């Protein structure tokens, strides 16, 4: 056995990697003949067609109002991948549905470039059912296996990356998404692998800013940073004067975290005031020379409810490494490994709700609580460029909608994806009665005569 391990080690040293890095580019092997400017729905069946999407977006087509679907497994390992959406000028703004087909071997080698991943920059985009296998991503700032930067009303739903290798030199680096900015959502998604970056580095997400939600999602593997790292999220609202709260609900991290300087947390590295963490847990180690904690590296005045960490596997007696807020105890409870792997733990995470998302199977997730993954949690419509105003931002008994297209129907979802309220609409202006909805953060999706619009709403 030792000889075998030594031989494998020798191979890795001699070759640099078991798998050779491609040297040619998908840009030079792309097929764009599938594109029809008169159509809005496209189905891609080959790797060359998928590469054509990247070429078309780089050329200025943001695909706003269009849906791109994948039909069949894809192997992208033969050429270097160019991210779909390269910058703020040429982002992707459509709907992308991977249909749970595996996309293997994405290799991005742009060590001095920001906004790097399978997608580079996505603005007002919906990305669904993407299954990345063995992605290798090298970049600077805003780096993730699925997307480097997701901006304004972005929805990531049922997207998973396994065998992740991310090597970044800058900040906002995540196993799945680099940074999530303004009214974004990550639903039932995950990343598993190795993530390395400068600062604000997380197993799933590097940094969220201003009114974002992560729900039913997880990360496993290793996270390493020079400064600020967390098992699930690197840092929340760092370096931005955010005005609205980020919410992490029903999530877990089993990542092991190390930092050279600064904060290391089993779940989140640095947590600012505009953050709420609920019904979540962590198990990984968090090691840093300054402050480290089993759940949070450091922060103050953030809100917590019904959270837990494994004191044995994390080797941490404290949930928070450096508490900077007003005197008080965050709602993060210590548990042993044995206690974490019980039906009672599942009941706690579900807050007594027998229909809650948390489940337990001794053969899944090493016996720790988990949740079912599968299909996207939100019914999708064709996305559009319709203008719609929803007010007030903080609603009470009603929501007013004003659009420039006919309104057909609406659905209000919890952040878990559960339908709370739905109905039909008429005209271009209407009011929805929301008296029966409890306080919380919700996703409003409105189907119009010109397509679908989604908005984050808060009661």
Q: Last residue of some domain: 371, 404, 436? A: 371
Do residues 103 and 130 lie in contact, with contact meaning Cβ atoms separated by under 8 Å?
yes
Tokens 């953060």 locate to: 441
Q: Is 405 helix (H, G, I), strand (E, B) or coil?
A: coil
Residue 19 lies in a domain: no
Shared domain for 262 and 399, answered yes or no, is no
Residue 5 lies in a domain: no
**Average pLDDT over the chain, rounded to an integer:** 87
- Asked whether residue 19 carries a pLDDT value surpassing 50, the answer given is yes
Task: For residue 455, give the nearest of 443, 437, 438 by alpha carbon.
Answer: 443
Higher pLDDT among residues 355 and 442, named by residue: 355
Shared domain for 396 and 324, answered yes or no, is no
Shared domain for 288 and 417, answered yes or no, is no
Specify the CATH number for the domain of residue 142.
2.160.20.110
- Residue 376 confidence (pLDDT): 53
How far is Cα 203 from Cα 267, in angstroms, rounded to an integer?
9
- Residue 402 confidence (pLDDT): 85
Residue 6 lies in a domain: no
What is the residue-wise DSSP string for 290-308? SEEESSEEEESS-EEESEE
Q: Is 398 left (phi over 0), alpha (psi -120 to 50) or beta?
A: beta
pTM of the model: 0.81
How far is Cα 356 from Cα 35, in angstroms, rounded to an integer?
43
Average of per-residue pLDDT across 251-258: 97
> Predicted confidence band at 383 (pLDDT cuts at 50, 70, 90)?
very low
pLDDT in tens, 171-195: 999 999 999 998 899 999 999 999 9
pLDDT in tens, 117-165: 999 999 999 999 999 999 999 999 999 999 999 998 899 999 999 999 9
Residue 381 lies in a domain: no
Specify the CATH number for the domain of residue 406.
2.60.40.1220
Shared domain for 428 and 317, answered yes or no, is no
- Residue 437 confidence (pLDDT): 87
Domain span holding position 67: 26-371
Average of per-residue pLDDT across 69-73: 97
Residue 73 lies in a domain: yes
How far is Cα 116 from Cα 139, in angstroms, rounded to an integer?
6
Shared domain for 163 and 208, answered yes or no, is yes
Q: Last residue of some domain: 309, 340, 371? A: 371
Phi and psi dihedrals of 2, rounded to 5? -65, -40
- Residue 418 confidence (pLDDT): 66
Shared domain for 417 and 306, answered yes or no, is no
Shared domain for 303 and 409, answered yes or no, is no
Higher pLDDT among residues 383 and 7, named by residue: 383
Query: The tokens of 65 are what?
Result: 């109002």
In what helix (H) or strand (E) does residue 57 lie, and over which residues does it extend? helix 47-58
How far is Cα 281 from Cα 279, in angstroms, rounded to an integer?
7
Q: Is 446 helix (H, G, I), strand (E, B) or coil?
A: strand
Shared domain for 237 and 339, answered yes or no, is yes
Q: Last residue of some domain: 307, 336, 371? A: 371
Shared domain for 366 and 420, answered yes or no, is no
How far is Cα 345 from Cα 337, in angstroms, rounded to an integer?
11
Higher pLDDT among residues 437 and 447, named by residue: 437
Shared domain for 312 and 454, answered yes or no, is no
Task: For residue 81, give the nearest of 128, 123, 28, 44 by alpha carbon.
Answer: 28
The residues facing 370 across adjacent strands are: 359
How far is Cα 371 from Cα 251, in angstroms, rounded to an integer?
9
- Asked whether residue 379 carries a pLDDT value surpassing 50, the answer given is no
- Asked whether residue 249 carries a pLDDT value surpassing 70, the answer given is yes
How far is Cα 332 from Cα 336, in angstroms, rounded to an integer?
13
Residue 411 lies in a domain: yes
CA angle 251-253-258, nearest 5°?
145
Residue 49 lies in a domain: yes
Task: For residue 57, give the nearest of 119, 135, 108 by alpha carbon.
Answer: 119
- Residue 218 confidence (pLDDT): 97
Structural domain count, the chain:
2
Query: The tokens of 315 are what?
Result: 């080797």
Shared domain for 155 and 267, answered yes or no, is yes
pLDDT in tens, 215-247: 999 999 999 999 999 999 999 864 455 556 789
Average of per-residue pLDDT across 417-435: 85
Shared domain for 362 and 401, answered yes or no, is no
- Asked whether residue 203 carries a pLDDT value surpassing 70, the answer given is yes
Residue 121 lies in a domain: yes
Above pLDDT 70, what percent of the chain? 86
Task: For residue 455, give the nearest of 406, 392, 396 by alpha carbon.
Answer: 392
């Amino acid at each position: 056995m030792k000889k075998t391990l030594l031989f494998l080690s020798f191979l890795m040293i001699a070759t640099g990697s078991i798998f050779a890095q491609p040297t040619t580019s998908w840009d030079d092997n792309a097929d764009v003949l599938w594109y029809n400017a008169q159509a809005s729905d496209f189905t891609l069946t080959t790797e060359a067609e998928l590469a054509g999407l990247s070429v078309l977006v780089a050329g200025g087509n943001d695909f706003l109002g269009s849906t791109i679907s994948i039909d069949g497994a894809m192997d992208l390992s033969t050429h270097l991948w160019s991210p779909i959406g390269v910058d703020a000028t040429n982002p992707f703004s459509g709907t992308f549905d991977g249909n749970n087909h595996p996309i293997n071997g994405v290799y991005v080698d742009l060590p001095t470039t920001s906004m790097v991943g399978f997608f580079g920059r996505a603005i007002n985009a919906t990305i669904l059912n993407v299954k990345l296998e063995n992605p290798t991503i090298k970049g600077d700032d805003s780096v993730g296996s699925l997307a480097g930067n997701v901006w304004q009303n972005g929805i990531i739903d049922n997207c998973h990356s396994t065998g992740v290798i991310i090597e970044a030199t800058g900040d906002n680096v995540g196993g799945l998404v680099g940074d999530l900015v303004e009214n974004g959502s990550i639903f039932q998604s995950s990343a598993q692998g190795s993530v390395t970056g400068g600062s604000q580095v997380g197993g799933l997400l590097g940094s969220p800013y201003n009114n974002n939600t992560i729900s039913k999602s997880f990360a496993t593997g290793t996270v390493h940073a020079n400064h600020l790292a967390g098992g699930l999220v690197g840092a929340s609202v760092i370096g931005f004067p955010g005005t609205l709260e980020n919410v992490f609900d029903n999530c877990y991290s089993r990542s092991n975290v190390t930092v050279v300087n600064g904060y290391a947390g089993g779940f989140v590295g640095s947590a600012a005031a505009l953050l709420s963490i609920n019904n979540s847990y962590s198990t990984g180690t968090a090691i840093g020379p300054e402050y480290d904690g089993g759940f949070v590296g450091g922060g103050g005045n953030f809100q917590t409810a019904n959270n837990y960490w494994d004191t044995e596997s994390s080797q941490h007696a404290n949930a928070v490494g450096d508490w900077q807020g007003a005197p008080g105890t965050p709602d993060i409870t210590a548990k042993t490994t044995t206690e974490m792997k019980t039906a009672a733990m599942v009941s706690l995470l579900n807050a007594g709700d027998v229909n809650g998302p948390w489940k337990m199977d001794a053969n899944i997730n090493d016996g720790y609580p988990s949740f079912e993954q599968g299909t996207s949690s939100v019914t999708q419509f064709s996305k559009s460029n319709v203008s719609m105003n929803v007010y007030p931002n903080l609603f009470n008994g009603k929501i007013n909608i004003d659009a420039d297209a006919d309104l057909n129907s609406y659905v209000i979802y919890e952040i878990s994806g559960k339908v709370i309220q739905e109905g039909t609409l008429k005209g271009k202006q209407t009011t929805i009665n929301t008296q029966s909805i409890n306080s919380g953060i919700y996703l409003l999706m409105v189907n119009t005569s010109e397509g679908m619009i989604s908005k984050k709403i808060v009661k």
